[in-house]
Amino acid sequence: MAEPDSVGLEEIAGWVRAARSVVVLTGAGISTESGIPDFRGPQGVWTKDPKAEKLSNLHYYMTDPEVRVASWQARLVHPAWTAEPNAGHRALAELEGKGHLEVLVTQNIDGLHQKAGSSPDRVIEIHGTVREVVCMACGERAPMERALDRVRAGEADPPCRSCGGILKSATIAFGQQLDPATLRRAVAAAQTADLLLAVGTSLSVHPAAGLVEIAARTGARVVIVNASPTPYDALADAVLRDPIGTVLPELVTAA
């Protein structure tokens, strides 16, 4: 077998064409080109600022009203509201349009894949989405925009309109379990993939890392597109280090 970093784009494009089920896994790296900062990575906002991490910790959020007030203020100016999808997001939407993308699992909460044209029913957001709120008491979900309107109108910590419970963005905070049904869908996709394309993820946190393992174990080819090395590079069939916004459109065009 060739070394993973010596496999060319044409060969990988051939694998994509031949695959029955291509599953794509994306992480923060695909959205940094859209101006969304990486929160969890080694250079991440949370990693470098423990106070910011506190705002994202479920325990503090549920017990400290000041943390919730600060969180709502942060949501008002979240970069996702103004960010536009980039060439990497658009390439994956195009891959789906060509009939070569079965499922898109993303660690990102920004909704940019859907905004780029990926079908919502093919996108699995394992860390949730910032575009909705969820009531921590009754589980009701609602558009984030409506809650933000209430904050702008003067409610510093708007409660659930149905039950008065604490509202939170529908994202997975530190100390919060992933949604079991969402995780099961992602695992099932990895198990049936015959090509797993991991894009812009350091593969250092689970379950994303586990999905690569599952796909490889069930016989899928693994292609990693990431600027820096990941723990799974040696297991991969191909590794691309080029900028995502350049290499993904090339790959999709060739596929």
Catalytic residues: 127
Instruction: Output 135 or 248, the one with its CB closest to Zn ion.
Output: 135
Residues that bind Zn ion (CB under 5 A): 135, 137-138, 140, 160, 162-163, 165
Minimum Å gap between C-beta 9 and Zn ion is 50
> To 10 degrees, what angle do helices 244-254 and 9-18 make?
60
Residue nearer to Zn ion on the CB measure, 25 or 134: 134
Q: Which residue, 135 or 211, has its beta carbon nearer to Zn ion?
A: 135
For residues 164 and 231, which CB has a smaller minimum distance to Zn ion in the complex? 164
Asked if residues 112 and 36 have their Cβ atoms less than 8 Å apart, the reply is: yes
Q: Is the dihedral of CA 226, 228, 232, 233 positive or negative?
A: positive
For Zn ion, which is the closer residue by CB, 113 or 168?
168
Distances (CA, A) of 102 to 22, 27, 41, 166: 5, 17, 27, 36
Residue 61 makes CB contacts below 8 A (sequence gap 6+) with 55, 67, 68, 71, 166, 168, 173
Pairing status of strand 22-26 against strand 103-106: parallel
Residue labelled with tokens 């709120």: 133
Q: Give least dist CB 68 to Zn ion, A.
A: 15
Instruction: Please report how close the Cβ of residue 165 comes to Zn ion at its closest, in angstroms.
Output: 4
Q: How far is the CB of 198 from Zn ion (least distance, A)?
A: 36
CB of 171 to Zn ion, least distance (A): 17
